[in-house]
Structure 1
Amino acid sequence: MDLSSEANSEAALRLQDIELVVFDWDGTLMDSEGRIVASMQAAFRDLGLASPPATAVRGVIGLGLEEAIRRLPGFDGEQTLAELIARYRHHYLIADATPTPLFEGVQALIEGLHARGRLLAVATGKSRRGLDQALDLTGLRPWFHATRCAEETFSKPHPGMLHELMDELGVSPAVTLMIGDTDYDLQMAHTAGVRVLAVGYGTQTPERLLAQQPLACAPSIAVLSDWLLH
């Protein structure tokens, strides 16, 4: 299922009343999977632990950092959690040079939604420092009205981030849309009572996402933009 079908064109009409669009960051707006995987594996190696497979790291992208590390094979207990977090952040924010570009078309999509009067927000598993760095490097900071990181509230799939964003911006679940690339995003949205779209170009397969029954699953930013902006 993608947004180009006739059925989903009809679904698009039901989104005309949306006031707030909340985006996940990694895998939805930014192609950061490569750096996340490399940085996590390096953090484990720094502590002499077995490096988790890339597939395992990809499977926890979207969660808050503490929750993600706890779920990885090779994690040896709470006594190393703080060190693993510190080493991951060192590699991701400073040492690792793996490119983290925005997906093609993201800038135009965000600017287009802003021009149409939508409130825009980010709900992410990134740290505040990591998100602030990404917002500044990409130049997207001016377009977002509010942002929330997992370290500031509950990790996905808990609905805390969405509840706080809606409260801050004064909107109801009925006029809020969540867009993300993981089942954690979709579960969070369902629990918060907001509509949700999946994107199938990120870290999880469309089949895994569709099992969570989003409105639809966009295969690309171009298709997502066509639906949301026209």
Structure 2
Amino acid sequence: MASRPTVVDCRQTFKAYQAAYLVIQELRRKDSEAVVELVIKDDKGMLKDIATWCSKTGYQLICSEPGKEGEMRCLIQKGEEKRNDKTMTLMISTADLEDLAYPFDKALGGAVLGMQVNVVFEGAGVKLLQRGYRASVSGFWGRIFTTVVENVMKDKIGWPLPQDAIAMLEELGANFYICGPSMVGYGVREEELVVKHHTQGGTITWIDLLAGSNVNVFSKAVFEKP
């Protein structure tokens, strides 16, 4: 008798890359042609994203059908990995929480599609790689509203916070670059960095990365006094 597929429950998020990430983690440990049952919200946009992800990466979406109220159940089979030669470069030039969500959103989408993702931290953005740093909402009342925004991101949308996004990108094989002068200016020491591997560089290196990328994504960039 065939065993029931492992269930990957992603009903807590509207972000398909979160679901794709968990499926990748689960099937990475299994043999070729293994199957998982992915449970997501019954959302047309999310289902389309899952279908696109499967078609571009070699996974097979065997079927999808509504489950209990508000959920969609998908059977996904591990297949032969499709090579993706495209590159994305993400420029992070701020540490303000409200300006980080969408750039990391795009980077994670590219990473689960198998793109080579370069993440560049410059200016105040270097603080995000400092162990223990917590991104906050900007402005006079920012620290008061930071917890509220974090709760909405995590509990209402299923959006990874910056530190979680960085960890996911590292697991998915992203390359991390950090501005050396910005590290000095914002007091970030190399031994404090949360990523295991990184490259220090500056403007010329960033332009070279951007010129060679298929997709470039930029955060808001505002000079902040260290």
Report the TM-score, using the length of structure 2 for normalisation.
0.29
Of Structure 1 and Structure 2, the greater helix share is in 1
Greater Rg, structure 1 or structure 2? 2
Of Structure 1 and Structure 2, the greater strand share is in 2
